[in-house]
Structure 1
Amino acid sequence: MASADHSYDYVIVGAGPAGCLLANRLSADPGCRVLLLEAGGRDNYPWIHIPVGYLYCIGNPRTDWCFKTQAQPGLQGRSLGYPRGKVLGGCSSINGMIYMRGQAQDYDRWAEAGNPGWAWEDVLPLFKASEKHFAGASDVHGADGEWRVEQQRYSWAILDAFREAAAQSGIASVSDFNGGDNQGCGYFQVNQRSGVRWNASKAFLRPVQARANLTVLTDVLVDNLILENGRATAVNARWQGNWQRFTARREIILCAGAIGSPGILQRSGIGPRPLLERLGIAVQHELPGVGGNLQDHLQLRLIYQVSNVRTLNQVANSLWGKVGMGLRYLYDRSGPLAMAPSQLGAFVRSGPEQASANLQYHVQPLSLERFGEPLHRFPAFTASVCNLRPASRGRVDIGSADPAAAPTIDPNYLSDPQDLKVAAQAIRLTRQIVQAPALAPFQPREYLPGTALQTEEQLYEAAGKIGTTIFHPVGTCRMGSGPLDVVDAQLRVHGVSGLRIADASIMPQIVSGNTCSPTLMIAEKAAHLILNNAASPRGTVTAAVVTP
């Protein structure tokens, strides 16, 4: 419930990883009232917490916005499901639980592009501040934070063999991907606690839920922001069947993600003038870059049938296998139910022209046609490989002024010729690894895309056939000082006071790895920036029923 006097200092929109962390940090001052608004419900759905339950959360309206992309010419006209978390914890409640920071050079490039304070040496302490690493504190890891990082609790012979095959192909085995250079092959570290998903709600909200100065409201559909004299002063939202206005004198912080945050801006009249005028939305502040610069990691899912080895396909398609998985998980929270979707990873260069690893593998002891469909009935593994630094750029825009309407999402996959070249290189490299001696006892046979596809043009076709999102959209409210940038290096929206954005949408370029923990780092940075802004006068927030 809202506090009795309806007064708050900060309004945070979106209770994904960034929003949960910011609510924790800003409410640490008992004299500061904080309101956190979430469009989804509580994170009490059982499948959120069982790691393999991501299969039942993605595409489920209980936990997912269930977005779809526009038909993609680069993917043979296919439209993809585009999962985004709609629940406390956001995407950390439905994602693959992989703890990954990216590469040091990712952040150095942000700083070199005109964003001081975002170089690797600046952000490493922020990663460590929220981290609780299983191996304890070190030069690169923290042990006193809330974001649990653990080793995985189950292994498969087929993955051990792939790792050995990678080593035979020149990809060294490593034990930690998070020291700044993630090149090599190894097992992912995961955000779990003893075999149970560890999401941002558990990490940052539950420990502070008794704070009298923190209010968390769920099932709140945010429409737009109210601007007065160039300042964002209120959030207009539907809650408990009524339109409510939450008015802030300090700051409003958007943490609604790469899809949600630009949509809120656009419905508020902040964005590209042609779009707003076409939709009949009054232009409050023209910012052409809002919704542009959409980047995502496109994964190419190569599937190999195998023999003489067990994979999850056999286990999950057997009644006794399912019973065994359930009993094992009940006994010690291990076994296949404790699996992250991808257990083994590798980072490698697609060619000698690359200065650092530009490909990431997610290797899985299973196969299926697409997420949400049953596992194949034959034993197989999937070697999913994505281009970490795609050159293609897309955009996301609202389709109408209705906050309940689905956005128009156009990732524009494989539109840049360089991305096609890297895709072809990735397929060839995967085939090279699979042909290494370590995998020979299991007789791998390429099921997708199929060995008949060999020429450069055929491999481009293969990429369009098997390519799909790996759920890492970023960049749609880009940080920088150029004409298409949306926030400055302090995460303040250009030309609008009292408004910041702290989520994956601010990334100028996508990081070289999974995006959840970098988003937490962005929120940690935002908390420092906000709390150090001592000159800002303390304000209040009131809630009043209004009409849309």
Structure 2
Amino acid sequence: MTYDFIIVGGGSSGCVLANRLSANPNFSVCLLETGGRNQSNLVKTPIAIPLLFRIPKYNYGYETPVQINQANRQIYNPRGRGLGGSSAINAMLYVRGDRKDYDDWAAQGNEGWSYDQILPYFKEIEHQERIHDQYHGTTGELNVTDSRSNHPIGKEFIDAATSLGYPFNPDFNGEKQTGVGYYQVTQKGGQRHSAADAFIHPLQNSKSRKNLTVLSYSRVEKIIFEGERAVAVRFQQSQLLEADKDSFKTVELRASKEVLLCAGAIHSPQLLMLSGIGPKEQLDALQIPVVKEIQGVGKNLQDHVDVCLVNQQKRSDLISILPSSLWWLGTQAVEYFKSKRGAFTTSLVETGGFISSKGLDQRPDIQWQFIAGAMDDHGRNLKMYGIQGTTLHTCILRPKSRGEIRLMSADIATPPVIDSNMLSHPDDIRLMVEAVKLSRQVLQQPPLSLGNIKEIFPGEQVQSDEQIAAFIREKSNNIYHPVGTCKMGIDDMSVVDPTLKIRGLTGIRVIDASIMPNLVSGNTNAPTMMIAAKGADLILSDYT
């Protein structure tokens, strides 16, 4: 069977792209996704994030190799599985990054990607409930709103920070990013509003797009080329991809116009390499025929390195399994099921901010994400749920360390090597040490400090820069923002050009977070959807 466009990956970018391309009835579009529809109550209930992180149906749950710069630990990499991708399991924060992020992309030769040029795409897909100004849209599909939870300890965090001179910012996505405040979230009516909820499920439910085919449980194993033109994809289709391989049905679909790779910063380079596009030495080692040698495929991996500061608190209305908390959570469950309000609507991260280590009026280089609960190891350390406490995620916004994605085997079912290589650049560990110091200042400031019992992480015994650095290496993780592995640009290590076409090939583009030349200063979900909206325009301009 033949379609005009075949989209590989039904995550945040793939959902937006399928919506926009299929809006033209003259084009036939097929969206292929490895996982399922992701419409369960677990996915829809915001507070269920820690559970989603533990269920393979929704999360690939990758691990890096041992990382020598992080105390010889493997670093957990949750990635969303199913329609909506990671927007179906993430903390739902709507953050665009800083204006200069995009101006820097343009300065590197990526014409058309400056802040002023990409802002219309953020606005086009946004349905903003509260803020009506020149920075926001109100007619798009993606619902962006204030949290319906607003735990009172979040205000204590904000008050503690503003008492130190940090400005209150009512909109991190407006004129300035700097300051502390409340995060907005991608929710609708108190429930998660993933990319699939916004851009795909309404089309499926209304059956309004006869030219759009969405195939779940379809894992693409290879992009097929004729010469240097992508012409088809081969995929395995099964209702249970964990089943025995003999139960798979292998299918080929042809693309008359383009194959559009939207599989994300981990899977897009993996699939390109499995299809013969990438560093020749890697392909030769696995006896994969080379279609096009592109050294940059899989390189330039970036993520926000993050560490958690945890304090035990006197309060009884924090997330834990202690009897006092369970009683409070029970009342909140009733409120959620009655009116979709209260703590069960929490994104966990309700407040935070963007600050600079160089002074109050400088461009932010640190992000804070504050949680009304004690967390460790991505919420997987179950002992922490027996403590009434708070967590302050602290990450640096523009790390200099770079990692890479490599193939482990020629089988798509084998996860690739995710060598994150965080903290390999000395500037990153120096800034992280400063970030921990600044975070401690806020946590030790009233009114927040009045409820503190003791500091659990790093612990009061950790005081010198050397001790803080050791703590960071022992406890730091990523914050789930991998980008850059199919870099956009005009230099020799770039994989795609500014129109997102793979250099030296035809009939194929990459349209997802992997094309970011540099990591944006904040969460990556909203920027990834912006990339897809702009990518759709680039495609349509070639065919209409």
Q: Same fold (TM over 0.5)?
A: yes
Shift of 1:180: 4.8
CA distance in structure 2 between the partners assigned to 1:303 and 1:69 by the alignment: 25
* Deviation larger for 506-515 or 429-438: 429-438
Q: What stretches of structure 2 of length at least 5 have no aligned partner?
A: 239-247
CA distance in structure 1 between the partners assigned to 2:188 and 2:67 by the alignment: 38
Shift of 1:355: 4.4
1:514 correspondence with 2:523:
yes
Q: Match for residue 215 of structure 2?
A: 217
Q: Secondary structure at the match of 2:344?
A: helix
Q: Match for residue 481 of structure 1?
A: 490
- Superposed, 1:197-276 pairs within 5 Å as 197-209=192-204, 210=207, 211-240=209-238, 241-276=248-283
Closer/same/farther in 2, CA of residues 75 and 354 from structure 1, 3 Å limit: farther
CA distance in structure 1 between the partners assigned to 2:470 and 2:83 by the alignment: 39
1:302 correspondence with 2:278:
no
- Superposed, 1:27-426 pairs within 5 Å as 27-135=22-130, 137-209=132-204, 210=207, 211-240=209-238, 241-308=248-315, 310-313=317-320, 318-352=325-359, 355-370=362-377, 371-374=379-382, 375-426=384-435
Quick check: 1:99–1:188 contact (8 Å CA) kept in 2? yes
CA distance in structure 2 between the partners assigned to 1:514 and 1:323 by the alignment: 31
Quick check: 1:308–1:441 contact (8 Å CA) kept in 2? no
Quick check: 1:309–1:442 contact (8 Å CA) kept in 2? no
Match of 1:440 among 411, 424, 449: 449
Shift of 1:224: 1.3
CA distance in structure 1 between the partners assigned to 2:323 and 2:112 by the alignment: 48
Match of 1:23 among 18, 22, 42: 18
CA distance in structure 1 between the partners assigned to 2:399 and 2:153 by the alignment: 30
Q: Secondary structure at the match of 1:26?
A: helix
CA distance in structure 1 between the partners assigned to 2:191 and 2:84 by the alignment: 14
Query: 1:123-159: CA deviations, max 9, x gaps?
Result: 1000000000012542000000001001111222322
Quick check: 1:96–1:342 contact (8 Å CA) kept in 2? yes
CA distance in structure 1 between the partners assigned to 2:311 and 2:100 by the alignment: 34
Closer/same/farther in 2, CA of residues 264 and 317 from structure 1, 3 Å limit: farther
Residue type of the partner of 1:372?
Answer: R
Residue type of the partner of 1:13?
Answer: V
Shift of 1:166: 0.4
CA distance in structure 1 between the partners assigned to 2:496 and 2:175 by the alignment: 26
Shift of 1:316: 7.6
Query: 1:357-399: CA deviations, max 9, x gaps?
Result: 0100000000133223434322210011100100000001121
CA distance in structure 2 between the partners assigned to 1:206 and 1:310 by the alignment: 36
Query: 1:387-432: CA deviations, max 9, x gaps?
Result: 0100000001121100100110011011100001001001110111
Residue type of the partner of 1:171?
Answer: Y
Quick check: 1:158–1:309 contact (8 Å CA) kept in 2? no
Q: Match for residue 3 of structure 1?
A: none
Shift of 1:108: 0.1
Shift of 1:181: 2.4
CA distance in structure 1 between the partners assigned to 2:375 and 2:401 by the alignment: 27
Residue type of the partner of 1:364?
Answer: I
Closer/same/farther in 2, CA of residues 319 and 420 from structure 1, 3 Å limit: closer
CA distance in structure 2 between the partners assigned to 1:91 and 1:354 by the alignment: 33
CA distance in structure 2 between the partners assigned to 1:132 and 1:443 by the alignment: 39
Closer/same/farther in 2, CA of residues 181 and 288 from structure 1, 3 Å limit: same
Number of residue equivalences: 530
TM-score, normalised with respect to structure 1:
0.94
Q: Match for residue 245 of structure 2?
A: none
Residue type of the partner of 2:281?
Answer: P
Q: Match for residue 538 of structure 2?
A: 529
Q: What stretches of structure 1 of length at least 5 have no aligned partner?
A: 1-5, 536-548
Q: Secondary structure at the match of 2:349?
A: coil
Q: Secondary structure at the match of 2:531?
A: helix
CA distance in structure 2 between the partners assigned to 1:353 and 1:460 by the alignment: 24
Residue type of the partner of 1:528?
Answer: D
Quick check: 1:448–1:466 contact (8 Å CA) kept in 2? no
CA distance in structure 1 between the partners assigned to 2:535 and 2:213 by the alignment: 19
Q: Secondary structure at the match of 2:185?
A: coil
Calculate the aligned-residue CA RMSD, in Å: 1.6
Q: Secondary structure at the match of 2:543?
A: coil
Identity of aligned residues (%): 39
Q: Match for residue 468 of structure 2?
A: 459
Quick check: 2:273–2:297 contact (8 Å CA) kept in 1? yes
Shift of 1:465: 1.7
Quick check: 2:309–2:392 contact (8 Å CA) kept in 1? yes
CA distance in structure 2 between the partners assigned to 1:335 and 1:351 by the alignment: 37
Closer/same/farther in 2, CA of residues 316 and 42 from structure 1, 3 Å limit: farther
Quick check: 2:165–2:360 contact (8 Å CA) kept in 1? no
CA distance in structure 2 between the partners assigned to 1:444 and 1:36 by the alignment: 52
CA distance in structure 2 between the partners assigned to 1:309 and 1:182 by the alignment: 33
CA distance in structure 2 between the partners assigned to 1:457 and 1:256 by the alignment: 40
Q: Secondary structure at the match of 1:296?
A: coil
TM-score, normalised with respect to structure 2:
0.95
CA distance in structure 1 between the partners assigned to 2:165 and 2:329 by the alignment: 37
CA distance in structure 2 between the partners assigned to 1:455 and 1:87 by the alignment: 45
CA distance in structure 2 between the partners assigned to 1:281 and 1:266 by the alignment: 8
